[in-house]
Each structure stands twice: as structure tokens, then as C-alpha cells.
Chains A and B, each alone.
Chain A
């Protein structure tokens, strides 16, 4: 998060601290690619984000950085505009969503959810087992062309899972709310990891249910 290395303006060579616009000549500057997302949007390093404020900042920055506004500019401005806007878009996309923000927060603390983390979180084990069994039954029935009570049953599963998801999201928001700047918090970090992997798991399950629902619908 520390990016105090001085950068120099491409136009007037003025030194500055990774500013978007040169403090001396106002020329658009290329942001170093390692700048963190909170800094890009100019908000405090805190995983609790005021989403309305975030969107307003995103719009305001887009209005100054977007490539549409530098079409007639120099090659340096065009490149800075293109790359900065791509970075701004990624930062906004990540921070506006509590899940992605949580994951990003984890990454900023040098942690990450293993991509190959296929272990079923114990809290979800029985639910997952139950849902997958039902899905398997439905697929089998479909293969044999049997009538099923598919759509109503799927709707029930879907609402159950969504409810569970809402609960986890609330827990996630609460977890993030307890963070406070760069305070060391091993318990919070561990809880955050567990929450995020549960959510990731639930999301995959929900997608499977939706896929089955669509297949039945189209059949």
C-alpha cells in the first residue's frame, strides 16, 4: 500500500506521488500498476465502503480519465487514459461488491483463498449433500423422461440457498465492519477466510441449481 516512490511527470518532469494529474502542469499521468484499489478511488483503506459515495467517485473519475476524452490527445495521454481507466474500472468492480472486496482485502493482507480449496466447509456439509442428491435425482428422472415436480422443488431449494447466502453476506459485512485500519486481527482474518470460502461454495451450488432449472425450463 505504500507507494511513496516519487514519479516524474512525462511532460514537465515535476516529481509527484503517483497523482493522476501533474500538480505542476495538469497533464494526465500514468498510474503505477501496483497502486491499490482504495487509492485509485481515493477512499480510506477500510473494507467498509459507502457504496453510493464509491459510485459517485467512480463517475467523477471516469469523467476525467476516459479514453473518449483523450481521442485528440498526445500518445502519452492516450496511453495513460486507457491504462488508468482500465485500472479504475477494475478497482470499482472489485470494491463495489462485498464478496470481491472481502477477497481483495484478504489479498492485501498477503492471504488468499486457495483456488483448489475443494473441501466442503463443515457448516454447509449437510445442506450441500442434500441439494446435490436432489439434483442427481432430477437429472436421472429427466434422462428417463419421467415427470418430476422439478420447478417447484427447485424454487424451494433456490430460496433456501438464497436465504443461507443472505445470512453469510450479513456475517461478511459484520466481519468487515470490525476491521479498523491496519489493526492486526488474526481471528478476524481467519473468520473472513472461512466466510469467503463458504460463500464461494454456496455460489457454485446455486449455479448448479440454476443450470438444472434452465435445462428443465427449456426442455
Chain B
């Protein structure tokens, strides 16, 4: 049975987990022993990329080319990029999906996420000593179709088969329910670094049934850090410095550290120092001040909670438990507000950072066919529909419908000899198409007929990943027609194919380049040492030896200008051999000198 591992691809941190016997476990970094991989990617000038802790360290030095919180951009178009995002990063000047401009190249959010996934994969392969191909990746429950598709694309670009996208609160409920053997209705309040989800579930005899879900995919701890940075650090600076990416990054990091400290401490000291920008700010921040400054952000999580309860037809008192997930739930203010809203003390005894990855590993175990005692019944978070006459959104699948879900819709033509019908697929809760998220457009090919005669049945199917699939059947002929769905903000299959090829080529080019650089460096070291020895110890050369060595040096110098690293290595080796007796003599002399000195000093 092929192993499937679980990945929590988070806004701030990412984790990878597997089933060890019957227990889910996260895999730590071999050096630091830390399970959390910071979801940060730094792009260096020479084309190399760095992921994780080291990239995080580069964030203040190279703010424009170090991408943090890439998850916030997944599946988005340029029109969704905020002014604040523009201050933080440089984007390609192009419509359509978001593209970061880094060292003259363009990278889409799935490509950046793929680098994080690759890093996790390498960690797991080293730990488990086997290749990893298949994964379950978690996504915020409130992620729409484009955001899910982007996550799947990231997996593909990392060379992984994404067996399932799993909703984060559902994953958490799995880890929680199996751990506590709980039955009944529970709420999972998942407040992470960049996203917020609330899910209500019924747990019954191994069935985890999601009743409703709601959330905000651009609301998280990041917003709290941002607010603290603006109010308590940047406000005291001149306008120009407030816009400086390095100052912004540093302020953000100081704010984040302070927020963490204030989860336990009553007050903390803020120190923002960017010496070469002549910035130095220090002040005390109390927990109370922080809570006053960020209360409205925390309050924004409560409206989705209200909506989720209403959709499920439940009241807070119907719930058995409220489970906290995500790093932001460490804030005392969050715990108080959630406690007040649900009228009970929320449970916080699970590790809020790891529980999602652990749940993903459990689901992976089921999908690999090993586990049969539990089953997830999840829902689609947003209504799906199509644009109809007058720009109105016509709903086909209501939000909170259990997935997989399908609906059939009949299409015909409005004018004679029409050869295709255009369909615009939307997702969202608003009445007007323009207010909903555009998912995709496609054409249904139709044989020319008088208006109203053709009858094409289109099936919209949302699979267990929450992703839309479309098929069309001509009812007169019974032929199923292929429908090419063009995602509004995503990569097409061809683009993914091309990126994959490039990444393989690039990887090979990378290796060649690295070996060449190493070979040249090694050659330089040997050449340099030889030259020095010839100058300083010419007296120790045997007859004819100098000729041999000089010839070997010339050959190596010539090879070094070429690209053949094997030749450079061979000639370096040859030069070393040619100089071995000479070097031996130098060594002996030096030892004698040292011994001689020693003897002198002993006297």
C-alpha cells in the first residue's frame, strides 16, 4: 500500500505529518527539530531559492524578493491585490492572475507554494527514507474553487499527486474527535495567520458530518500584526519611511513578536531599529492597548460564526464543544470573545499549530485504504451558479451542500444556427453576477440548428475536493462533449505542463552550474597554492619537476575557462599528483623548521 502523507500548507507555517503505526505524527526538521516550516520563500539573484527559517531571516534584508504569506494570493487576480500588497511586493504589470516580479522573472503563487511543498517533501523523504508521491493538502474551508485549484496546481508543480484537498477545520475535528472520542455537535473555530474558518459538525459513530461552514480567506494574525505595526511603530515615522519595504517588514516582525509575548505577559517592550534608515523606536505596549487596537479585527470573526449557526439551524447552546485551532487563538482576547459568543469556555488543549496536519495524516490513512472506521462528509462553502440574462447569478448548488454534489442544467440556443453557447460559472452569495467571483468560462459546442431545437445537458459536479468538474451531453445524439473550462484566475493545463518541464530543465541546469562552480573553485585553490609554493620553495624542486608542474598548471587554467566540470576536476587531480612529491618535501622542511624552533625554545 502506497503511503500518503498529510500536509498543512499554512499562511505562516507549514507542516508535514504521517501515520506511525496508528498514531499521526508531525515530521520535524532534522537540524532544528522544529516541526513548523515557516512558509517563506526567498529568491536570490543567482536564481537559487531558500525556504523556511533562513528565508525568514532574509525577509528584512531583502523584503521585495522574500515572499511571506503567499497563501493570501492563491487563486486571486491582480484586481484583488491591495495597496498594502503593492507596498510589500513588486508584481508583474499584467492582467489576470497574480504574478510576483522577482529579479526580472515572474512567479505565480502556486509556483512559490510549490517550493514550500518541495521542501516539506524532502524533509519527509529524508525522515521516512522512501520517496513521497501522494499527499493530502489542507485548505481553508472557505477557500473558493480558484483557490483550491491553485493549491492543487502547487502540488503538481512540486511533483506531487494531490490525492485530496481537505478543509482545515474538518481535519482538526478529525484529530480532535478521534482523540476525545467525542459525539454530538461541535464548532471548530480556526483562526490562523491569514485565514479564518468556522465549521459546525455532527460527530456520530465515526462519521464527521459538516453541517455548515463560513469564514474569511483574508483575515488572520497577519492583520493583527499589521495593525499593531501601523499604530504603535510606523505612526511615529515620517511618511517616506512608512512606505519603505525594509522598515515595513521589520515593523511587522517586531509587532508579531510583541503579540506573541502578550499572550502570556501583561506588557512588553517594542524595539524597532533599522540603523541604515536611521529608524529607532522603543516603547512599552500593554496587552490592554493591543486589545483596544485590534478588537475590531477579532470581532470580524464573529459574523461568520453567526452565519454558520444560522445556516445549520443551530443555537450556541446546542453545541457540545467549541474547539480552537490556529496560532491566533492563543490570544487571550480571541478566547474571551469566542467564549462570550458561544457561551462556554472554548477548548484549547490541542496543539493549535499541529492539529490540522495531524488530521490530514489521518484522512490520508483512510484514503490509502488502511483505515475504515471513520468517514468525512464535507460541504461546499460557497454557492455555485451561472450568469443568466441581465447579469443575474442563478444558483445551481447552494452553499453548505454536502460534496460530492451535482446538478444538471439544460441549455439551448437563442438564434438560428448558433454553433456554441457561452457559460459563465460563478461562485458567491450575491444576487448579481458582477458581485460574485468569476470561476470560469466555457463554450458548449452545438451543431447548427434552428433556435431552441438543440438540447444540451450540462452537469456541474463538485468533487470531494470541492472542485468543479463540467461535462456536457447532447441529448439528441447522446454524445458526451468535452468542455474546455478556462479558469478566470488560474493556470491552464498547458501552463502547468510548461512550468513543470522548465523546473526539470532548470533543476538539471542548476546541478550542472553548481558542479561547474565547485570544480572551478577547487581548481583555483590548487592553482593558487601551487603558485605560492613555487615562489617560496623553488629551492626544493627536483630536476625537471618544475616543467611538469608548469605544464599541468597551464592545462588546468585552460580547462577552467571551459564549461566541462569533469575535465576541470581531472586536471585538478593531475596537478595535485604532479605536485605531491614537491609538497611532501615542503612539508618535511616545515616540520623540521617547527621542530627546530621548538628545540630552540626549549633551551
Contacts and interface: CB of A to CB of B under 8 A. Distances in A.
Interface of A: 33, 59, 62-63, 66-69, 71-72, 82-83, 85-87, 89-90, 92-93
Given A59-B204, A63-B375, A82-B464, A71 B163 contact: yes
A69 B372 contact: yes
Which are the 6 A-B pairs with shortest beta-carbon distances? Answer: A86-B406, A86-B404, A71-B367, A89-B402, A72-B369, A67-B464
Contacts of B163: 71
Contact of B366 (A68, A89, A90, A93): A68
B499 interface: no
B182 to A, nearest CB: 17
B463 interface: yes
A68 B375 contact: yes
A154 B556 CA distance: 90
A86 B461 contact: yes
Contact of B464 (A63, A68, A83, A92): A68
24 contacts: A59-B204, A59-B207, A62-B207, A63-B375, A66-B375, A66-B377, A67-B464, A68-B367, A68-B464, A69-B366, A69-B372, A71-B368, A71-B369, A72-B367, A72-B369, A82-B464, A83-B461, A85-B404, A87-B406, A89-B401, A89-B405, A90-B405, A92-B402, A93-B402
Interface in B375-417: 375-377, 401-408
Interface string B180-214: 00000000000000000000000011010000000
Contacts of B164: 68, 71
Contact of B461 (A66, A82, A92, A93): A82
Contacts of B366: 68-69
Given A83-B404, A92-B402, 11 more contacts: A33-B408, A59-B204, A63-B207, A66-B375, A67-B463, A72-B368, A82-B464, A89-B403, A90-B405, A90-B407, A93-B401
Contacts of B403: 89
Q: For the side of the interface on B, what is the size category? A: 20 to 34
Contact of B406 (A66, A71, A72, A90): A90
Interface of B: 1, 163-164, 204-205, 207, 363, 366-369, 372, 375-377, 401-408, 461, 463-464
Contacts of A67: 404, 463-464
A33 B407 CA distance: 11
B576 to A, nearest CB: 55
B315 to A, nearest CB: 14
A112 B546 CA distance: 104
A59 B376 CA distance: 11
Contacts, number: 59
Contacts of B372: 69
A62 B461 contact: no
A62 B375 contact: yes
Contacts of A62: 207, 375, 377
Nearest to B207: A59
A92 B405 CA distance: 11
Nearest to B465: A67
B482 to A, nearest CB: 16
A130 to B, nearest CB: 25
A87 B459 CA distance: 12
Contacts of B464: 66-68, 82
Contacts of A71: 163-164, 367-369
Nearest to A55: B204
A27 to B, nearest CB: 16
Contacts of A66: 375, 377, 464
Nearest to B205: A59
A68 B376 CA distance: 8
Residue of B1, B377, B404, B407 contacting most chain A CB atoms (<10 Å): B404
Contacts of A82: 404, 461, 463-464
A83 B363 CA distance: 21
User: Of residues B207, B363, B369, B402, which shows the largest number of chain A Cβ atoms within 10 Å of its Cβ?
Assistant: B402
A83 B460 CA distance: 11
A83 B403 CA distance: 11
B55 to A, nearest CB: 34
A44 to B, nearest CB: 24
A75 to B, nearest CB: 14
Contacts of B461: 82-83, 86
Nearest to A85: B404
Nearest to B163: A71
A108 B406 CA distance: 19
Contacts of B408: 33
Contacts of A87: 406
A129 B552 CA distance: 103
A23 B377 CA distance: 27
Most buried by B among A33, A82, A87: A82
Contacts of B204: 59
B592 to A, nearest CB: 73
A178 B34 CA distance: 66
A165 to B, nearest CB: 13
A87 B1 CA distance: 30
A42 to B, nearest CB: 18
